[in-house]
Amino acid sequence: MTLTPLTIYLAAPRGFCAGVVRAIKIVELALEKWGAPVYVRHEIVHNKFVVDGLKDKGAIFVEELDDCPDDRPVIFSAHGVPKTVPAAAAKREMVYVDATCPLVSKVHIEAERHSQNGLQMVMIGHDGHPETVGTMGQLPEGEVLLVETPADVATLTVRDEEKLAYITQTTLSIDDTAGIVEALKARFPAIIGPHKEDICYATTNRQHAVKAIAPKADAILVIGAPNSSNSKRLVEVGAAAGCQYSQLVQRAKDIDWRALDGIKSLGLTAGASAPEVLMDEVIAAFRERYDVTVDIIETAEENVEFKVPRVLRETA
């Protein structure tokens, strides 16, 4: 049987970012240091395959600190947590390790600095996303106002139009965020923004790679979890950049083959919390059905590395 030719345009960079690598390593080193079980508040990163792998090694995932015993270590996820969480852990004299991505921590520090200077914060983010909850929780109630769309800007009630600053969730769409920032600056000309965009390097790079692939591809598949903000943004970016079929899949088994019938080219990428092993699995599934040629489209090189907290470096 002759297989139909298919060109796969493979995005580079794709998959794990430095913050995700660090967060996973923190859980693994904590298990080495303290033995199982180690508790993790919220999914360490938004990927079922990764979470299941850590569960197998002895990590127990919970949603709240109340679900953890006092006598076992607890790790806070890469998305960051409100200030009340480490405070509650300290009060209970728990051993805790914060796996918040350093780029998210940078936004937390920024928000605090602005607040100390008497500015009220506007956060561009997704309501209920753990990163948004964590960032807003750095400051007292009412000090951070959330906007999700340019339309939200019109209805904002602020304390003082002259004393405002904005921050953003790190995993947003660059283009969508630009529209919201424009609306904020138009309504509040005095608003202060970050020196450098809060959207992280990995989110930005993965979106640029998808934009480069989209015009060439009959379809785009993004490997990632349905609760992963950066993965969902990649799907949207692919569609906005001109690819009519842009979809999220968790694993090879989730691919809708009928929808891909007749394609000659496919764009492939993975969200920042999806491991490369899942990409290999998807490519293998295509090789079974097509005569595949892989063409890597590289739009940036990444060599960022983040250290794990000192308490774990001591044993490493």
Of 271, 226, 269, residue with least CA distance to 129: 226
Q: Using CA atoms, how far apart are residues 229 and 231, in angstroms rounded to an integer?
A: 5
> Quick one: the chain helix, strand, coil %, rounded to 5?
40, 20, 40
Does 103-187 match 4-16+201-298 at the fold level?
Answer: yes
| pLDDT at 147 > cutoff 90 | yes
User: What pLDDT, in 10s, does the model give residues 231-270?
Assistant: 999 999 999 999 989 999 999 999 999 999 999 999 999 9
The domain segmentation of the chain, as residue ranges, is: 4-16+201-298, 18-100, 103-187
Q: Using CA atoms, how far apart are residues 54 and 185, in angstroms rounded to an integer?
A: 44
| pLDDT at 162 > cutoff 90 | yes
Question: Is this model's pTM higher than 0.85 or not?
Answer: yes
Tokens of 205: 């790079």
| pLDDT at 316 > cutoff 80 | no
Which of the residues are catalytic? 131
Q: Using CA atoms, how far apart are residues 182 and 229, in angstroms rounded to an integer?
A: 22
Separation in Å, CA 26 to CA 21, 99, 164, 243: 9, 7, 36, 38
User: pLDDT confidence of 195, banded at 50, 70, 90?
Assistant: confident
Instruction: Please give the pLDDT value at position 119.
Output: 97
User: pLDDT confidence of 315, banded at 50, 70, 90?
Assistant: low
Class of the CATH-defined domain 103-187: alpha beta
User: What CATH number matches the domain at 4-16+201-298, 3.40.1010.20, 2.60.40.2140, 3.40.50.300, 3.90.230.10?
Assistant: 3.40.1010.20
| pLDDT at 314 > cutoff 80 | no
| pLDDT at 188 > cutoff 50 | yes
User: What pLDDT, in 10s, does the model give residues 269-281?
Assistant: 999 999 999 999 9
Looking at domain 18-100, its CATH architecture is 3-Layer(aba) Sandwich (3.40)
User: What pLDDT, in 10s, does the model give residues 281-310?
Assistant: 999 999 999 999 999 999 999 999 999 999
Of 78, 65, 184, 173, residue with least CA distance to 126: 173
